[in-house]
Homo-oligomer: A and B are copies of this chain.
Amino acid sequence: MRMMKAAVFVRPGKIVLDERPVPVIGAGEALVKITTTTICGTDVHILKGEYPVEPGRIVGHEPVGVIAELGAGVTGYTIGQRVIVGAITPCGQCHSCLDGHQSQCGGHATGGWKFGNTIDGCQAEYLRVPHAMANLAPIPDGLSDEQVLMCPDIMSTGFGGAESGDIRIGDTVVVYAQGPIGLCATAGARLKGASQIIVVDSVPERLATAKRLGADISLDYQQVDPVAEILELTGGRGADVAIEALGTQQTFESCLRSIKPGGVLSSLGVYSGKLGLPIDALAAGLGDHRIVTTLCPGGKERMRRLLNIVASQRVDLEPLVTHRFRLDEIEQAYDLFANQRDGVLKVAITP
């Protein structure tokens, strides 16, 4: 039995580097040798015990790598081909997938999110990819691992927030929180034709990065009341769309207070505790508001589209990688990332 190194969830507070068998693949599956991966905010939720996964689970859901083996029935790919796989890996064949709800694969909430959740993930030397025909996405020539590292999750999620907001040409869009996903939502709002993009955060570097990715106006919520400011900036109209990219009551509620009657609150955050809907901001239910939540879209067609966005230089997310670690050092990487030290946005992990 070949062994490999992997980051394994042991118990709340403890993710360790461990030795695990290289996965054995079956029909319809693929084995990918990981060349670069990263840590997600959701992994930190797992680390902290806020999102439950089985002890012993290899974590990580943002793989860049090389095809090492192909199971029976997986055609059209070659060993050695560079690929990414989305954080969400739909089967494509269940009722939910066929009905357009690929992220809810199997009909279970978040059912499409398997890596590092319900099956072993990619913070490891090798990754078993289920439903490989639906999920292996070749990397266009000339793109580096780090250039495409945001595609599997961060970019797909952030852009998904912009897409679910039904942004139209000339819209005003607000994005609350400019962590990696919020930054991608900002880039997505720009891609979709918003004419006024307002971002809210308190970290100067993040607000500056937001401007580079397409924001027109940045608001530091420690300096100004963002809702009041947004109403003034829109002549009292309110934003057409507000994207929530943090997962707190305050940002959720501020989003609702920032949008016009008939506007959309597009929510990307992962919430815990309680979430209240302020009745006044909802116009007692009479304001034609829409609240939409979006889980990262996956599947190889989604990945193909995102890779093409990178290849055509529409958006450059490589600068989000602020720190680099070897897989050996992943415990240090978690320590840095979980504590948001040293201005970290995203880390690159290389086995």
Residues of A within 8 A of B (CB): 27-28, 51, 72-73, 90-104, 107-111, 113, 131, 133-134, 159, 163, 168-171, 188, 191-193, 195-196, 216, 236-237, 247, 260-262, 267-279, 282-295, 299-302, 304-306, 308-309, 311-312, 314
- Point out the residue from B191, B271, B308 that lies within 8 Å of A279, measured CB to CB: B271
Once A27-B72, A111-B261, A311-B195 are accepted as A-B contacts, the answer to whether A170 and B283 lie under 8 Å apart by CB is no
The answer on a CB contact under 8 Å between B286 and A110 is: yes
Chain B residues closer than 8 Å to A291, beta-carbon distance? 290-292
Instruction: For residue A135, give the distance in angstroms from its CB to the closest CB of chain B.
Output: 8
Instruction: For residue A213, give the distance in angstroms from its CB to the closest CB of chain B.
Output: 14
Instruction: For residue A230, give the distance in angstroms from its CB to the closest CB of chain B.
Output: 14
Chain B residues closer than 8 Å to A305, beta-carbon distance? 168-171, 195
Contacts A170-B308, A276-B276, A288-B293 given; 11 further ones with Cβ under 8 A?
A91-B93, A91-B133, A92-B97, A93-B133, A96-B260, A99-B262, A103-B288, A107-B237, A169-B192, A286-B293, A291-B291
- Give Cα A273 to B279, complex, Å: 7
A28, A100, A193, A273 pick with most chain B CB within 10 angstroms:
A193
CB<8 Å pairs between A and B, sample of 6:
A90-B98, A92-B98, A110-B261, A111-B261, A269-B285, A276-B276
- Give Cα A308 to B279, complex, Å: 32
Chain B residues closer than 8 Å to A28, beta-carbon distance? 27-28, 73
- Give Cα A306 to B104, complex, Å: 22
Closest chain B residue to A92 by CB distance? B92
- Give Cα A108 to B269, complex, Å: 28
Chain B residues closer than 8 Å to A278, beta-carbon distance? 275
Chain B residues closer than 8 Å to A170, beta-carbon distance? 304-306, 308-309
Instruction: For residue A321, give the distance in angstroms from its CB to the closest CB of chain B.
Output: 21
The answer on a CB contact under 8 Å between A289 and B293 is: yes
Instruction: For residue A142, give the distance in angstroms from its CB to the closest CB of chain B.
Output: 15
Chain B residues closer than 8 Å to A195, beta-carbon distance? 305, 308-309, 311-312, 314
The answer on a CB contact under 8 Å between B193 and A301 is: no
Chain B residues closer than 8 Å to A216, beta-carbon distance? 312
* Across the A-B interface, the 5 shortest Cβ-Cβ residue pairs: A170-B305, A92-B92, A101-B262, A104-B261, A109-B283
The answer on a CB contact under 8 Å between B27 and A73 is: yes
The answer on a CB contact under 8 Å between B267 and A285 is: yes
Instruction: For residue A154, give the distance in angstroms from its CB to the closest CB of chain B.
Output: 14
Closest chain B residue to A287 by CB distance? B109
The answer on a CB contact under 8 Å between A271 and B284 is: yes
Instruction: For residue A90, give the distance in angstroms from its CB to the closest CB of chain B.
Output: 7
- Give Cα A64 to B300, complex, Å: 33
A285, A292, A299, A300 pick with most chain B CB within 10 angstroms:
A285
The answer on a CB contact under 8 Å between A290 and B287 is: no
Chain B residues closer than 8 Å to A294, beta-carbon distance? 288
Chain B residues closer than 8 Å to A311, beta-carbon distance? 195
- Point out the residue from B100, B260, B274, B283 that lies within 8 Å of A107, measured CB to CB: B260
A216, A247, A292 pick with most chain B CB within 10 angstroms:
A292
The answer on a CB contact under 8 Å between A286 and B109 is: yes
- Give Cα A58 to B214, complex, Å: 43
The answer on a CB contact under 8 Å between B279 and A274 is: yes
Chain B residues closer than 8 Å to A192, beta-carbon distance? 169, 192-193
The answer on a CB contact under 8 Å between A285 and B247 is: yes
